[in-house]
Each structure stands twice: as C-alpha cells, then as structure tokens.
Amino acid sequence: MSKVEIKGIIPPILTPMNDDESINEAELRHQVNRMIDAGVSGIFAFGTNGESYALSHKEKVQILKIVVDETKKRVPVYAGTGCVTTRETITLSKEAEEIGADILSVIVPYFAAASQDELYEHYKAVAEAVNLPVVLYNIPARTGNALAPATVARLAKDIPNILGAKDSSGNFDNMKQYIELTQNIGKDFSVLSGNDSLILPALMFGGKGGIAGCANVFPHTMVEIYEAFTAGDIERAKKVQDSIRIFRNCFKYGNPNTLVKIAAGLLGDPVGPCRRPFSKITPEGMEALKKTLEQCKANGLH
C-alpha cells in the first residue's frame, strides 16, 4: 500500500450534469482543474456533495475514471465507495482500486439500523478486501446509524489500512473523541471534519483538515483556512473560518447539497442542477442566496 497523506482541504467534488441529467464530462474535468488550481489537497469523487445517493454503480465508475484521468496524480483521489451492504461496498471498493483511486471513503451503511459490532465487522471486511487506505465516514443525520468513538478507535487499532475518519455529525465533542482515542495507537490516523464550520476547531485539537463541500463554491477561501493554520497564523485562520458562516446560513432554505450546486452555477460554473427530486429551493431561498453570494464576493471569498 502506497503512503498517501490524508490531510488538508478535500472537496467532495460536484457531479456536473447536462439538462437530461447525464454526466457532463467536460465540466467535471474543468471542476477537477479548478479545485487543484485553488490548492486543494485531494479530490473526492461522488461524496455527499457529488450526489452519491443519486448515482448508479455504472455512473460512479464512469465518474471515477474521469476524475482519476484528469487529476493525473497531482493530488490524491478519494472515492466514496460506501453502500448499504458489505458485499456491494466491497465490489465498488475493488473497482475503485483497479481504476486508480488512492483512498476510499466509506460511509456508514444506511436505512437499516446497525449495531456497533455490525459496523465493526462491515468495515473490517471492506478494508481487508482492498490494499488502499480507508477513511470511515460518519454522517448519522443522513444514514440513521452513528459510528461511535469507541468503534472508530477499535477499527483504527485493529485494521492496518483504516487510516482516517470523517465526522459529519456536527457534534464537535464526537469528533474530538475520534481525535483523542486514535492518538498514540502506533500509526498515523487522520480525523477530518465533514462540517465546514468545524474545520479550524478540528485542526486546533489535532485533526488533519476537512472534506469541505463549500470548497465547491469558494475553493481558495476554504484552502486558506488550512494554510493559515499550518503557517501558524491562527488569527487569520479564525477570520477566514468565520467568513463562510453567512453562506452556510443559507442552508436553512433547503438541501445543503442543492444550495452548494446552485451557488456554483450562480457564480458561473455550469454544473447543472442536482438530480431530481433534490433540485430546487424556494423563491425566497434563491433571493437570499443571490444576496449572500454578492456579500461573499464583496468580502473577498473566492
């Protein structure tokens, strides 16, 4: 297994679509280069903001091939290979490895309730089926299953290629426990914030960065949080972290993934809408989003 550092700002890259909801390959390639030019530390194909929940297996394979080809090893490529069942997750994970992904991000199985022992066995089986680093992905509001800190620690200690965890619970104490329980285990283990408002707090407590949906809209700004922190300029990092709050406040108007994709379109990137039915916000939300983007531009976000 090659050594790949799991750190920095990694955008869960949008999946651009044409009017007929087919994959817009040219725009996907453009978005890969847009992110890399902004200084991101990796590209995450079909994460939550990439509409993994709305893509077929065949489309995921298509997208990953495009992303790997366009990235050309300039940054690591993460692939979101988590599915409902262990069997399907292993199948997609093996394909991702063959295609050339560098890291797998495996979301907690969803819809059906799972015990912590079942989650442990699931991740153990997936990790042992591949020769790639695996990042656990906890997002209980979407999956209905929460990956407990003790389970993360157990997996980190027991399975050599489970090397990170992304926490999108929004509960900072949960993420902090991920960090605390995976320190001093005899290997590097990276905890990444999946909540963009908690990237700096995570870094300050020993986290390694964030998988940041807002980077699809303001990639330079999101990268600056990490760069300011690693340069030791904490005050600057705090200022940049706080600057994205006004945009995130718009998430109350609808599905955050939808808001992010619409915002990217309003700023000139023809990524198309999210796949139906997750594609609209109210007229009130659209007006608020447009005003917010104008304010963000005036504040220097880009």
Catalytic residues: 137, 166
Structure token digits, residue 2: 């090659």
Give the closest residue to 12 by CA, choosing from 224, 285, 277, 212: 212
C-alpha to C-alpha distance for 45 and 32, rounded to whole angstroms: 10
Q: How far is C-alpha 299 from the geometric centre of its chain's CA atoms?
A: 25
DSSP 273: P
| CA-derived radius of gyration, the chain | 18
Question: Amino acid letter at 262?
Answer: I
Q: Is beta strand 103-107 parallel, antiparallel or unpaired with respect to 134-138? A: parallel
Structure token digits, residue 79: 């692939």
Q: Is 276 exposed, middle or buried (0-12, 13-18, 19+ CB in 10 A)?
A: exposed
How far CA 31 is from CA of 96, 210, 249, in Å, comes to 20, 19, 24
